[in-house]
Amino acid sequence: MQDLSVYLLMLLMLQACQNQGETDSTTEAPQRMSQKKIVDLSHAYSDETVYWVTAREFELDTVFKGQTEKGYYYSAFNFSTAEHGGTHIDAPIHFAEKGLTVDQLPLEKLMGPAIKIDVSAMAMGNPDYLITIKDLQGWEQKHNSQIPDGSIVLLQTGFSKYYPNKVEYLGTNERGEQAIKLLHFPGLAPEAAQWLVDNRSINSIGIDTPSIDFGQSQYFKSHVILLGENIPAFENLTRLDQLPDQGFEVIALPMKIEGGSGAPLRIVAVLKE
């Protein structure tokens, strides 16, 4: 899996170089990749993986693990999981009746230039913090530029430091319908989601909490607004503190589930050294 990810990154960077007329030699791709820093923004799947309180949790069953009768080592497992848990993608169909499914998402929505908006100074002291239009505009004022068209926008609340402690990360370790009212974590205010849709042209959005809507949301308006415009959301991200505010790229490749409303996601950031 790691080899495949590196290979995909090499192909991406090579294509970028070719498009810019920098090189037409495939032999330069590994050298160029060695000049990049890759940050894994994904949590691993295990029995500690955090899921929505009503979702089926991750299970890994052993088919075989050990020495075979013929003398070689072999291991194989079965796994089961809900679409929405751990580091995952919300496809538009999750909250939009005519939205795209996971397998229909254009790769252009999932890979490309990205920015990070850090609201951790406010969110870490308030588990019900809502990321505002002012926060989005604050990034633009700081960098004297608008959020670029086609950007992948990552929202850093700092809450990934609590993962996988469910009490601190979710607000509760209870499960079931009765636990929904106990959820407390930051999210994007619906007004800010609407502002992005009306005033900027982003490809996708991600956050280091369990949901793009905050824990106490009852109507999931930010989901409805963003996914209604076929803007997918990445949830339960990590290591956003290792990213700059801009000048990096993201590659977010979900499991390609036909008709899926979501899927486990391997997402990385590629930084210039």
DSSP letters for 17-81: HHHTTS---GGGHHHHHHTEEEEE--PPPSTT--B-TTSPPPEEEEEEEEE-TTS-EEEEEEEE-
- Domain assignment present for residue 123? The answer is yes
Residues 202-228: what's their mean pLDDT? Answer: 98
The amino acid occupying position 10 is M
- Domain assignment present for residue 239? The answer is yes
Residues 238-248: what's their mean pLDDT? Answer: 98
Confidence class of residue 9 from pLDDT cuts 50, 70 and 90? low
* The pLDDT of residue 237 is above 80: yes
Domain co-membership, 166 together with 232: yes
Domain co-membership, 217 together with 92: yes
Domain total of the chain:
2
- Domain assignment present for residue 168? The answer is yes
* The pLDDT of residue 42 is above 70: yes
Burial grade of 202 (CB within 10 A; 0-12, 13-18, 19 or more): buried
Domain co-membership, 2 together with 100: no
The structure tokens listed for 117 are 């908006």
> Which candidate, 131, 97, 95, 92, places its Cα nearest to that of 109?
92
Residues 33-49: what's their mean pLDDT? Answer: 91
pLDDT in tens, 121-180: 999 999 999 999 999 999 999 999 999 999 999 999 999 999 999 999 999 999 999 999
pLDDT in tens, 74-109: 999 999 999 999 999 999 999 999 999 999 999 999
- CA neighbours within 13 Å on the CB side: how many for 154? 32
Among the residue ranges 22-31, 35-44, 154-163, 183-192, the one predicted with the least confidence is 22-31
251 forms beta bridges with 111, 268
The values of phi and psi at residue 28, to 5°, are: -90, -10
- Domain assignment present for residue 74? The answer is no
State the residue range of the domain holding 203. 41-56+83-272
Provide the whole-model pTM.
0.88
Please state, in angstroms and rounded to a whole number, the distance separating the CA atoms of residues 40 and 273. 16
Domain co-membership, 49 together with 165: yes
Confidence class of residue 12 from pLDDT cuts 50, 70 and 90? low
Domain co-membership, 191 together with 259: yes
Domain co-membership, 1 together with 127: no
- Write down the mean pLDDT value for the chain: 91
Confidence class of residue 246 from pLDDT cuts 50, 70 and 90? very high
Q: CATH number, domain at 129?
A: 3.50.30.50
Confidence class of residue 7 from pLDDT cuts 50, 70 and 90? very low
> Which candidate, 87, 97, 60, 106, places its Cα nearest to that of 262?
87
Q: State the pLDDT at residue 36.
A: 86
Strands (E), the chain: 36-40, 59-67, 73-80, 88-90, 111-118, 130-131, 152-156, 187-188, 204-207, 233-235, 248-254, 262-272
- Could you tell me which residues come within 8 angstroms of residue 28 by beta carbon, excluding any fewer than 6 positions away? 14, 17
Domain co-membership, 118 together with 187: yes
Q: State the pLDDT at residue 38.
A: 97
